[in-house]
Amino acid sequence: MEKDFASECWFLTGPTAAGKTAVGIELARRIDAEIVSLDSMAIYRGMDIGTAKPTAAERQAVPHHLIDIVWPDEEFSLAQYLEAAKAAVAEIRGRAKEVLFVGGTPLYLKGLLRGIFQGPPADWRFRAQMAEEAERRGSGWLYQQLAAVDPDAARQLHPHDTRRLIRALEVYRKTGRPISRWQTQFAAGRPAESCRVFGLDWPRAALHMRIDRRVEQMFAEGLVEEVRRLLEGPAPLGKTARQAVGYREVIEYLEGRYDLGETIERVKCHTRQLARRQYTWFRSLSECRFIRVSEPIDEADVAERIARAGRRD
């Protein structure tokens, strides 16, 4: 994805439970856009409640792309996402529509804005060996391995982000150089005024209340049943899908490790932690302009503010 290409699109991001879907639909109507999902878990079929996917009615109101494109037992890399996004953008442009990316996956956003280091092809045998070794040695082992050879990359990753930890170790093994050195172009940004990248910025207490309400709603809507159905289905949850907040905790509940009340509280806590990590990422991007919002949110007003800020008349 070329930088100048990405700069011609609109982007709406923000932490989980920030109201991106509703604001995004309002914004798409104002700028005559179709929406491309910027969510690494919404790509999975059947993972609906826990990912807060746009509803059928919302997708009918404004066309959405890159939702439900792979089965939950499949892996889907950043490079694959960028290729799929490029194709979706070309299709939308062919209809003379604007392109609006909506979602909260920081790595996808950064890849769209700045490109990526492609790196060597996947070594699936090495990845399987690392995953098995991590399972045997316990939490933190992978992170320690990466920190020893590439401390800069380790500082950018969560200790439980198994997939990306393994990829960083894989690059080091295949090339003899840390992935952080290969990714120098990944650090170069551009001024916010030259982009149309907008992030919804909530007061912390208000966002935490929204997160708590969303988590409770997910369980009321049948998150446990959804996870059980996925685990028993023909395409059970793969390694990446299992790590999604909400799904990982419900799996542990179904294994008898926690009761339901504890599980709900754990999902709330981990979702708040996720939101904090997302904010850290977004604030590191020079391209991002923040739009302050508060309760009660007026999605139409927020969308209008973004549309005005992004116009290039």
**pLDDT tens per residue across span 253-269:** 999 999 999 999 999 99
Give the model's confidence band at 191: pLDDT under 50 very low, under 70 low, under 90 confident, else very high: confident
pLDDT at 170 over 80: yes
Over residues 153-165, mean pLDDT: 85
pLDDT range class, residue 236, cuts 50, 70, 90: confident
Measured at the CA of 307, the angle between CA 301 and CA 312, to 5 degrees, comes to 155
- The two three-digit tokens of residue 259, written as one number: 């009761």
Q: Give ranges for CATH 1.10.20.140 in the chain.
A: 124-182
Q: Chain centroid to CA 19: how far?
A: 15
For the ranges 53-67, 103-117, 175-189, the maximum mean pLDDT occurs at 53-67
CATH topology of domain 124-182: Histone, subunit A (1.10.20)
pLDDT in tens, 271-306: 999 999 999 999 989 999 999 999 999 999 999 999
Number of C-beta neighbours around residue 82 at 10 A: 18
Which residue spans of the chain are classified as CATH 3.40.50.300?
Answer: 3-116+190-310
Q: Write down the pLDDT at residue 1.
A: 45
Q: What pLDDT is recorded for position 2?
A: 47
Q: How many residues does this entry show for the chain?
A: 313
140: left (phi over 0), alpha (psi -120 to 50) or beta: left
| Overall average pLDDT of the 137-163 stretch | 88
Mean per-residue pLDDT, 140-163: 89
Is the pLDDT at 309 greater than 50? The verdict is yes
Instruction: Look up residue 91 and give its two tokens.
Output: 């299709």
Q: At residue 184, does pLDDT exceed 70?
A: no
Task: Tell me the pLDDT tens digit for each residue of 106-147.
Answer: 999 998 998 876 678 888 899 999 999 998 998 789 999 999
Distances (CA, A) of 237 to 45, 68, 185, 242: 10, 14, 34, 6
Q: For the domain bounded by 3-116+190-310, which CATH number is listed? A: 3.40.50.300
β-pair partners for 98: 33
- Scanning the structure block, which residue is given the tokens 């049943």? 225
Q: Which residues neighbour 281 within 8 Å (Cβ) at sequence distance 6 or greater?
A: 106, 107, 109, 110
Confidence of residue 84 (pLDDT cuts 50, 70, 90): very high
Q: What is the pLDDT of residue 139?
A: 73
The overall average pLDDT reported for the chain is: 92
Average pLDDT over residues 176-189: 72
The answer to whether residue 162 scores a pLDDT higher than 80 is yes
Cβ proximity of 291 and 299 under 8 Å? no
